[in-house]
C-alpha cells in the first residue's frame, strides 16, 4: 500500500468545532420515525459504543433525546466485535440501530448487507479529512461518518528514562533492552507477532499488503512474502530470539501482558496507540509520548492508520432517525467534546489551531507518526489476511518456522481464500 501524502496527513489528526452549515449542530431532525406530539411514547434507539468510551457521547445523547422525543439506550462493548455480533443480533431483531466499527471492516459489512447507505452531501463530507471519508466509501456510496483516527505511537515511562535518553532507532532500542531486561523488567515492548504492529517494521523494508491497479487496491497483488517482508520478519525475529520480548506477549493475551508490564512500571517503553492515553494516565504512570523510531535501514518505522466510524445497521426499524443521530453525534461540536473526554482524535478539520490539540503531546506524536503511516485496507479481501499472517508471525516469534517459509505459506493461504471467496 502507498503511504498517505504528507499534505493529507497534516490534516488527518486535527479536530474541529467551527460551524460548517446552519444544520450541522442542530439535533432536531424531521423524520417519519419521530413522534410529533408531547404525549406520544418516544421512539427507542439502541446504540453500541466502544468499550469505556460512552462518557464521550453522554451529553450529546441527552440533547438528542430531549429535542427529538427519543429514548436512546447506549451499550458499551469492544468495537472490534460489533459487526460479528450484528450478524446474529440484526436478523434476530435484537441488534443495534447504530454501531461504531474499525474502517477495515466496512467493506465486508457492506458486502454482507449489514450497513445502511447514508445520504451525505459534499458539504458534510468536507468536514472530515479525505482519508477518513475514503474509509467510509464503497463504490462511491457512503456508509458511515468518521468518529476518530488512530495510529501507533511510543509510550515511555518518564520515571525510568528521560526524553533525552530515549533511543532513536530500533537497533538502539534492541541494545538498550538487552542490557536492561532481566526477566522481571524490560526495555521496549511491542506486539510484533501481529500484522497490525509488525507491518510498521516490515513495511519499512518494502512489504505491502495489497498493490494497486488502476488506482484501486488489488487483492491479487500480495506483498507480504516479498523480499522486504522476509527481511523485516527476520529483523523482528531477533527481538524474540534474544529474549528482548518476553514469551508472554505472544498470542491473544499479548496485549494484556504488554499493558500490565507498562502500567506496573516493569517496561520502559511500549508501542501502542491513543486508545491507551487515558488508561495509562489512570494507572498513575508518568509517561511521555513520541512518534515511532527509525529502522536500521534509515527508513522511519511505519504504522497503520485506522478510522473508527459511526454506522447505521441495515436492520434498524428507524433508518432516518438512526442516520440523523449518526450525523449529530459525529458533528464538529460533539467530536470536540468526545475528544476532550476520551482523547480519541476525530478526523475533522476545523480546529487545527485549537489549544486542546496544540498542547496535547499525544496528538502531536500522532501527527508526526502519521507522516509515515498507511491507511488500513478496507476491502473485503483484508478479512483473508489477518489470521494467516498473524499465525505466521507467531510461528516466527516462537522459533517454530523461518520467516521465508512461514510468510510464503501464509500468502498462499490468503490467495487461495481470496479466490474462493470471490467465486462464491
Supply the pLDDT for residue 278. Answer: 87
User: Going by DSSP bridges, is the β-strand pair 303-312/373-375 parallel, antiparallel, or unpaired?
Assistant: parallel
Reference 209, options 28, 379, 61; nearest CA is 379
Q: What are phi and psi of 64, to 5 degrees?
A: -65, -40
Supply the pLDDT for residue 404. Answer: 98
CB 109 within 8 A of CB 313: no
CATH 3.40.190.10: which residues of the chain?
Answer: 43-150+306-375, 152-303+379-423
271, β-bridge pairs: 154
Residues 119 and 7: their CA atoms lie apart, in Å, by 28
Supply the pLDDT for residue 423. Answer: 76
Which segments in the chain show pLDDT lower than 50?
A: 1-26, 30-32, 35-38
CB 270 within 8 A of CB 277: no
Q: What are phi and psi of 409, to 5 degrees?
A: -65, -40
Residue 87 grid coordinates: 450478524
Neighbours of 140 (CB within 10 A): 5
pTM above 0.85?
no
CATH assignment of 43-150+306-375, given 3.40.50.1820, 3.40.50.970, 3.40.190.10, 3.30.565.10?
3.40.190.10
CATH assignment, 152-303+379-423: 3.40.190.10
Residues 318 and 9: their CA atoms lie apart, in Å, by 36
Residues 106 and 48: their CA atoms lie apart, in Å, by 16
Give the 3-state secondary structure of residue 64: helix
Reference 155, options 302, 279, 3, 13; nearest CA is 279
CB 247 within 8 A of CB 400: no
Amino acid at each position: 500500500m502507498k503511504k498517505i501524502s504528507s499534505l493529507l496527513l497534516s490534516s488527518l489528526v486535527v479536530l474541529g468545532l467551527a460551524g460548517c452549515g446552519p444544520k450541522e449542530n442542530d439535533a432536531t431532525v424531521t423524520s417519519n420515525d419521530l413522534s410529533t406530539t408531547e404525549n406520544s411514547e418516544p421512539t427507542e434507539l439502541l446504540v453500541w459504543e466502544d468499550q469505556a468510551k460512552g462518557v464521550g457521547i453522554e451529553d450529546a445523547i441527552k440533547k438528542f433525546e430531549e429535542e427529538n422525543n427519543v429514548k436512546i439506550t447506549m451499550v458499551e462493548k469492544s468495537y472490534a466485535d460489533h459487526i460479528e455480533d450484528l450478524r446474529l443480533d440484526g436478523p434476530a431483531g435484537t441488534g443495534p440501530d447504530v454501531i461504531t466499527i474499525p474502517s477495515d471492516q466496512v467493506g465486508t459489512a457492506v458486502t454482507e448487507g449489514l450497513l445502511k447507505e447514508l445520504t451525505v452531501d459534499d458539504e458534510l463530507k468536507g468536514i472530515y479529512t479525505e482519508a477518513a471519508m475514503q474509509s467510509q466509501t464503497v463504490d462511491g456510496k457512503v456508509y458511515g461518518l468518521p468518529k476518530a483516527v488512530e495510529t501507533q505511537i511510543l509510550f515511555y515511562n518518564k520515571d525510568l528514562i528521560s526524553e533525552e535518553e530515549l533511543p532513536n532507532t530500533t537497533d538502539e532500542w534492541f541494545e538498550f533492552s538487552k542490557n536492561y531486561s532481566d526477566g522481571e523488567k524490560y526495555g521496549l515492548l511491542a506486539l510484533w507477532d501481529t500484522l497490525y504492529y509488525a507491518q510498521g517494521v516490515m513495511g519499512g523494508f518494502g512489504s505491502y499488503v495489497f498493490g494497486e491497479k488502476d488506482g484501486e487496491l488489488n487483492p491479487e497483488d500480495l506483498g507480504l512474502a516479498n523480499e522486504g517482508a522476509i527481511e523485516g520478519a527476520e529483523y523482528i525475529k531477533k527481538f524474540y530470539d534474544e529474549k528482548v520480548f518476553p514469551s508472554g506477549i505472544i498470542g491473544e493475551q499479548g496485549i494484556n501482558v504488554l499493558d500490565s508490564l507498562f502500567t506496573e512500571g516493569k517496561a520502559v517503553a511500549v508501542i501502542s496507540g491513543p486508545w491507551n492515553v487515558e488508561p495509562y494516565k489512570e494507572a498513575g504512570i508518568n509517561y511521555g509520548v513520541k512518534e515511532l523510531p527509525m529502522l536500521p535501514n534509515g527508513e522511519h518505522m511505519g504504522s497503520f492508520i485506522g478510522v473508527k466510524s459511526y454506522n447505521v445497521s441495515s436492520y434498524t426499524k428507524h433508518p432516518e432517525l438512526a442516520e440523523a443521530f449518526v450525523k449529530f453525534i459525529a458533528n464538529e461540536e460533539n467530536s470536540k467534546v468526545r475528544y476532550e473526554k476520551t482523547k480519541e482524535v476525530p478526523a475533522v478539520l476545523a480546529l487545527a489551531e485549537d489549544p486542546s490539540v496544540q498542547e496535547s503531546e499525544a496528538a502531536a506524536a500522532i501527527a508526526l507518526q502519521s507522516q509515515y503511516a498507511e491507511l488500513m485496507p478496507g476491502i473485503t479481501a483484508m478479512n483473508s489476511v489477518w489470521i494467516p499472517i498473524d499465525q505466521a508471525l507467531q510461528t516466527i516469534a516462537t522459533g517454530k518456522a523461518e520467516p521465508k517459509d512461514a510468510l510464503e505459506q501464509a500468502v498462499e493461504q490468503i490467495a487461495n481464500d481470496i479466490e474462493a471467496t470471490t467465486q462464491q
